[in-house]
Amino acid sequence: MIDELLRPYEFEFFRNGLIVATVAGALCGLIGCYVVLRSMSYIGHGLSHSIFGGFAAASLLGVNVFLGAGVWGLATALMIGGITRRRPVGSDAAIGVVTTASFALGLALVQIFGTTDRNAEAALFGNVLGVSIGDVWLILVVTAITVLTIVVSYRRLLFVTFNPEVAEISGVRVTLTDAVLMLLLAAAILVTMNVMGVTLIAAALVVPAVIARLLTSRFSTMLIIATVIGALTGAIGMNLSYHLDVASGPTIVLTGAALFVLAFGFSGVAGRARLRGIEHAH
Amino acid sequence: MHAEGPILSARGVTCSYDGTPVLDAVDLDISRGDFIGVVGPSGSGKSTLLRAVSGALEPVRGTVERGPGVSFGFVPQLEKVDWDFPVTVTECVLMARTRPLRRFWSTRQERRAERDKLLDVLDRLGIAELADRHIRALSGGQQQRMFLARALMTDADVLLLDEPTSGLDVKTRHEVLHLLDELRQSGMAVLITTHDLNGIAAHLPHVVCLNGRVIGEGRPTDVLTPANLEATFGSPMQVLQHAGMPVIVDAPTDSIEIAS
């Protein structure tokens, strides 16, 4: 039994995948707190889908897929902002149009030209077979930059998330802070795409934050709990993925969902009251 | 008492949103120790004026001159705050202190000094024992004090409050006004918006009637006149005198018949 559980650890691809999944879960859990509290869940969902379009186009053109998908993701984010500002289309409608079109374009490109490798499917549903040591380093660097940014601008980010208008009047550069957060979100989606799959990243962003909100009303504690829960779901989900022979994205998300049910049960009435706050904010 | 002249001078400030004019050629001086109430109906540009003086909104015409290093603390309308947001009172009070202390590389002395200052401010505002509570656990008056504490922690020179007493009961309203008066006496400048003429405006030392442009400015007894009030609110009002203070009532128009 124990032997069977430890067997995957013999393989390098699994060890790499486990590191990436754990760090990816932690990273998404951390960024996800801001995403959930700013009611940006739909942006996270849309951005991850649109990035798939850039991913497909880049792999077709033989460009570095991270670069291609990253540029594409930023362009979509700007487009969403532009459409929303011109109105009368609401931001959710703008996100819906731009990102699903981009996602559809990616799917069409893959169907017409086929895929050069298994990357497209990995990007859609998450697959760690292709995780290289380079990918491990990439996600570690992005996570380090994210943690550093959040530690250094902790109060500024909190202020802008809680009271954007007040922060602006108090002299905080809100537009810049928002842009930094969007950038961190895009980078997180980019480097976790291979493990989670673009179709499921939104869950990795939202679920740990919601669990953390169930358990605490203190912001700093929420960040820590969400990061730990994210790491846990990544690690457990990765092991399940091997043993059940299912793509890593679904097993990670299902692990998160199971932890949510547990937390929901244990946190009792107080936790559910806290959660109503999140629903209310949407 | 504070003779050094204005720390903020707005001249001919004109603001518009998407081409729709909101403020038209507004002049305003703010000095230390001022307690100014801006009165006007909704849509009269009160909140826009707060944004313009603080620099959050660039006027399309006119200038706002601020003294060197003048900083602003803003207290939002309680109704506009997301009270379910996961922050404790301490977290909320400290979040605006983004510049003096960068937590990552601050020294132990700096952290201790900040801690002392925090306890001092919370104590002064009477919410020290609530420091670790979630913000929803506070009463309306305590929530107002928490935002004042946040502004005090940044050593703001000018305190801007948007409808600070709306939603508060009479007793709490008085407490908040007295607290603001104490802060003013300690050398801050206080600028509030309100549509409450009798409860607030009549008690303040200085009132500005605003309806896109400044209709009148000065002491309540001089400014809150029937002519100014009608120009500001677009509806006739009568001003009575009671114990040396103006009391504003709706002017009797054709009586409204309510069938019984």
Answer whether A162 sits within 8 Å of B87, measured CB to CB.
yes
**Residue type for A128, please?**
V
Task: Please indicate if any CB of chain A lies within 8 Å of the CB of B257.
Answer: no
CA distance A237 to A240: 5
| Higher-scoring residue by pLDDT: B89, A88 | B89
Q: Which of A4-13, A88-97, A238-247, B80-89 has the lowest mean pLDDT?
A: A88-97
Confidence of residue B69 (pLDDT cuts 50, 70, 90): confident
Pairing of strands B35-39, B189-194: parallel
Interval A209-261: pLDDT, tens:
999 999 999 999 999 999 999 999 999 999 998 899 888 888 999 999 999 99
Answer whether A281 sits within 8 Å of B84, measured CB to CB.
yes
Interval A59-84: pLDDT, tens:
778 777 778 888 888 888 777 766 76
Q: Is the pLDDT of residue B7 over 80?
A: yes
Quickly count: other Cβ atoms within 10 Å of residue A34's Cβ: 22
CA distance A139 to A226: 18
Chain A positions in Cβ-Cβ contact with residue B160 (cut-off 8 Å): 169
Which position has the token pair 């904010």?
A281
Task: Please indicate if any CB of chain B lies within 8 Å of the CB of A264.
Answer: no
Q: What is the predicted pLDDT for the residue at A58?
A: 82
Answer whether A151 sits within 8 Å of B103, measured CB to CB.
yes
Element of type H or E holding B153: helix B140-153
Helix (H, G, I), strand (E, B) or coil at B77: coil
Residue A256 neighbours by CB under 8 Å, 6+ apart = A203, A204, A207, A208, A211, A229, A233, A237
Confidence of residue B188 (pLDDT cuts 50, 70, 90): very high
Answer whether B88 sits within 8 Å of A219, measured CB to CB.
yes
Mean pLDDT to the nearest integer, B217-223 = 90
Of A169, A218, A276, Cβ closest to residue B88:
A218
| Higher-scoring residue by pLDDT: B175, A209 | A209
Element of type H or E holding B161: strand B158-162
User: Is the separation of the CB atoms in B89 and B127 below 8 Å?
Assistant: yes
Sign of the CA dihedral with B22 first, then B28, B34, and B37 last: negative
Q: Cα angle vertex B224, ends B221, B228, to 5°?
A: 140
Q: What is the predicted pLDDT for the residue at B241?
A: 83
Q: What is the predicted pLDDT for the residue at A161?
A: 93
Q: What is the predicted pLDDT for the residue at A53?
A: 84
Alpha carbon distances (Å) from A241 to A3, A252, B115: 17, 8, 48
Chain B positions in Cβ-Cβ contact with residue A151 (cut-off 8 Å): 103-104
Provide the ipTM.
Answer: 0.87
Task: Please indicate if any CB of chain A lies within 8 Å of the CB of B70.
Answer: no
On average, the pLDDT of chain B sits at 88
User: Is the separation of the CB atoms in A155 and B95 below 8 Å?
Assistant: yes
DSSP 8-state code for residue A8: G
CA A268 from chain centre, in angstroms, equals 28
Helix-strand-coil split of chain A, %, nearest 5:
85, 0, 15
Chain A positions in Cβ-Cβ contact with residue B74 (cut-off 8 Å): 165-166, 169-170
On average, the pLDDT of chain A sits at 84
Q: What is the predicted pLDDT for the residue at A275?
A: 64
Q: Which of A263-277, B167-181, B213-227 has the lowest mean pLDDT?
A: A263-277
Residue A144 neighbours by CB under 8 Å, 6+ apart = none
Q: Is the pLDDT of residue B2 over 60?
A: no
Q: Which two tokens stand for residue A22?
A: 């754990």
User: Is the separation of the CB atoms in A80 and A43 below 8 Å?
Assistant: yes
Element of type H or E holding B193: strand B189-194
- Report which of B58, B109, B117 is spatially closest to residue B93, judged by C-alpha positions: B117
Quickly count: other Cβ atoms within 10 Å of residue A225's Cβ: 22
Q: Is the pLDDT of residue B146 over 90?
A: yes
Please state, for a pLDDT cut of 90, what percent of chain B lies above it: 52
Q: Tell me the nearest-neighbour CA distance from B186 into chain A, angstroms.
A: 20
Answer whether A169 sits within 8 Å of B74, measured CB to CB.
yes
Answer whether A219 sits within 8 Å of B86, measured CB to CB.
yes
Please state, for a pLDDT cut of 70, what percent of chain B lies above it: 93
Helix (H, G, I), strand (E, B) or coil at B218: strand
Interval B110-135: pLDDT, tens:
888 889 999 999 998 889 999 999 99
Task: Please indicate if any CB of chain B lies within 8 Å of the CB of A217.
Answer: yes
Whether this prediction's pTM lies above 0.95 is answered by no
Q: What is the predicted pLDDT for the residue at A94?
A: 76
Task: Please indicate if any CB of chain B lies within 8 Å of the CB of A277.
Answer: yes
CA distance A131 to A136: 7
Interval A20-53: pLDDT, tens:
999 999 999 999 999 999 887 788 888 888 888 8
Q: What is the predicted pLDDT for the residue at A282?
A: 40
Task: Please indicate if any CB of chain A lies within 8 Å of the CB of B51.
Answer: yes
**Residue type for B18, please?**
D
CA A125 from chain centre, in angstroms, equals 13
Interval A180-219: pLDDT, tens:
888 888 889 888 887 888 878 888 999 999 999 999 999 9
Of A151, A162, A170, Cβ closest to residue B85:
A162
Q: Which residue of A has its CA nearest to B147?
A: A166
Confidence of residue A157 (pLDDT cuts 50, 70, 90): very high
Chain B positions in Cβ-Cβ contact with residue A217 (cut-off 8 Å): 86-88, 134
Answer whether B50 sits within 8 Å of A169, measured CB to CB.
yes
Q: What is the predicted pLDDT for the residue at B101?
A: 46
Confidence of residue A276 (pLDDT cuts 50, 70, 90): low
Q: Is the pLDDT of residue A143 over 70?
A: yes
Task: Please indicate if any CB of chain B lies within 8 Å of the CB of A180.
Answer: no
Q: What is the predicted pLDDT for the residue at A281?
A: 44
Answer whether B91 sits within 8 Å of A220, measured CB to CB.
yes
Answer whether B81 sits within 8 Å of A163, measured CB to CB.
yes
- Report which of B240, B241, B242, B238 is spatially closest to residue B252, judged by C-alpha positions: B238
Mean pLDDT to the nearest integer, B180-203 = 89
Interval A104-126: pLDDT, tens:
888 888 878 766 555 677 777 77
